Amino acid sequence: MSVEYNPMEAPVPVKVRGVYITEGAGGSPAPVVLLEDEESRVVPIFVGLAEAISIYHALVGEMTPRPMTHDLFINVLENLKATVMRVLIDDMDGGIYYARLSIKRESEENDIDARPSDCLALALRAKAPIEIQEKVIQESSISKSDMENLVSLENFLQ
């Protein structure tokens, strides 16, 4: 019996385009990470400020004097001789994204349910691929006009 290929279930490689701030509910600042695929489709992932800063540091290659949580996690994995293989944002329900972190140790690979923000921070540090299911991209991608009011995190922090 053959399994039919369903393009809606295919993972699509994406890159982190940047970390930004937009106006959230009640006018408060809301950090957002933009992910972009090869077709220039952009998916916004809203994250907490601490996670946004962690993702930004990993994106630009900045190291803090002491390891932060995501740096610590990578250090623990390295000491256990495990690696981050990939991150997959695989579902969205009610505006909430779901992700899996694939970790490999020796010949065993495990998928771990995790917040997309943590997955992105870890994938950037581990230089691991980031993917999003096609159905999630189709449900959540935004237009260029939706990005007009974004301010880069770097400018926001200054």
Q: At residue 9, does pLDDT exceed 80?
A: no
- Cβ of 96: how many Cβ atoms within 10 Å? 10
Does the pLDDT of residue 2 top 50, yes or no?
A: no
Domain assignment present for 22 = yes
Measuring CA to CA, which residue among 90, 87, 145, 155 is closest to residue 121?
Answer: 87
Helix (H) or strand (E) holding 1: none
Mean pLDDT of 134-144: 93
Residue 153 lies in a domain: yes
Predicted local confidence at residue 154, as pLDDT: 82
In a domain, 43, yes or no: yes
DSSP 118: H
Instruction: Report yes or no on 88 lying in a domain.
Output: yes
What is the helix (H) or strand (E) element at residue 116, kind and residue range? helix 116-126
CATH code: domain of residue 67: 3.10.690.10
Into how many domains does the chain fold? 1
pLDDT digits (tens, 9 = 90+) for 70-111: 999 999 999 999 999 999 999 999 989 999 999 999 999 999
Residue 142 lies in a domain: yes
